[in-house]
Structure 1
Amino acid sequence: MTLNNLNKQIDIQLKKLGGDVTLRVKFLNTKEEIKVNQDFQFWAASVIKIPIACEFFRQVNEGKINPETKTKIKAENRVEGSGVFKLLNKDDEFTYLDLVTLMLDISDNAGTNEIVDIIGWENVEKYMHQLGLLNTTFRHKMMIKAGRGPNFTTAQDITILLEKLYNNEIPGAAQILAILKQQQDRRRIPLLLPNDIEIANKTGSLEKAVHDAGIIYSKNPFIFVFLSDDQEDKILTNEVLSGCAKLCFDYSIN
């Protein structure tokens, strides 16, 4: 299959969907790329947890915080949505690293909100802009709207960040990728791929949004970022996302 043929096959898949969709694929050995609406801004949902983790490890690297420090989850941070910390005893203590690990691997919202308090919400967006993610904003915690604006990102921005992680260009890159490789939600990028292929990915979901972003460690490793909104049939959107990831994987092993 040629890159042109791959683009055509992906276009067929994406045309099955209504609403808004962006797809960014970058093959890291050959530098070939696929770009579909890569600069459209979308609600970031839980994909924003990758930037949060990056800021956490930046502060660890600078000695500002110790990842083994223990803390309790404050009542106001025990929000609805994904995660387990909200279900546990309010007096239980967890290390900062525990919070970040479950923030990424099971998308724990309570753990995320506690980490945001620790690192300072304003530092996340500031760091992302320093890294070149100029269309990414972080203005509120998970499930808590604070009146400061939305959490936005683009497929292009997340691709930039994932490539920096892949190239070990930012503090904590190896640790972040190791955690992402333990991702528990296997229903999107990994769904149709072989079980023995390493994948470091982070999903995101809202009422009508289906996201997944990650690195697939195939023969020709590639970054795959799929963001969407206004999806009336999320089952179909999941199927298209997984199908596009499979097409890219098949191309990457040719």
Structure 2
Amino acid sequence: MMFMNGQKLYSCIVLSGGMSRRMGQDKGSMIIQEKPMILHILERLNYKINDAVIVLNDAQRIADYQSLLNQYCEGDIESNFDFSLEFVEDEIKEKGPISGIMTGLKNIKTDYALVLPCDSPFISEDNIDAMFKLLEENLESNIDAIIPFHIKSNKDKFKGNGEFNFNDASEMTTDMKIANSEPLHSIYKKENLNKIDELLKEDNLYVKSFIKCLKNPCFIEVDNKVLFEKDFRNFNRKEDLKDLEI
């Protein structure tokens, strides 16, 4: 992991401000495998980042998360992690994850942040390491983002393009990669904050619209089905949890 002036170069933004309507309760604070979802994520970030920003939708929820982590962490919360931890209130309410990304980018202490949703507790350390390694390899080219993408099993949307080979992702256009991307498991550069602000003014709330605005994104293919199903698995409904110990 690269360092500058004794600090790691990267941050993480954990999006925890969603309304969780389909789940019926706050997801990041749900206990799975004897820990809150949010704690699974934070533990996987140890020794990889400089700071983590947890974005929540109001002061009460911030207090609830701090209290919950105090229950499950030994000693004070930050002593459990080698990075600094900050809880911040979403700057613009009820605008979805794009406003949470903007709020997080405003509060990170480095130039780049990995964005993760609070309901993806099984993101692997290997995946995180691979993302940051690719970023390090592209820093000199002033990269704007690292975006994982995959070839979905439903390929009908691309039929009719006779030149496209579904066994070779290099044949995909940028628009195809964005359509099949994981924008809430990506790395973004802080200096592109103004682009999110412009989208919010237009009430364009799609994170993929933000990716389309970036001049120099880097796409990384997730071609391992097992890795994809594990790392990017999230929990939106109670039935999603049925095969887990909760």
Q: Which TM-score band applies after superposition, normalised by the shorter structure?
A: under 0.3
TM normalised by structure 2 equals 0.27
What TM-score, normalized to structure 1? 0.27
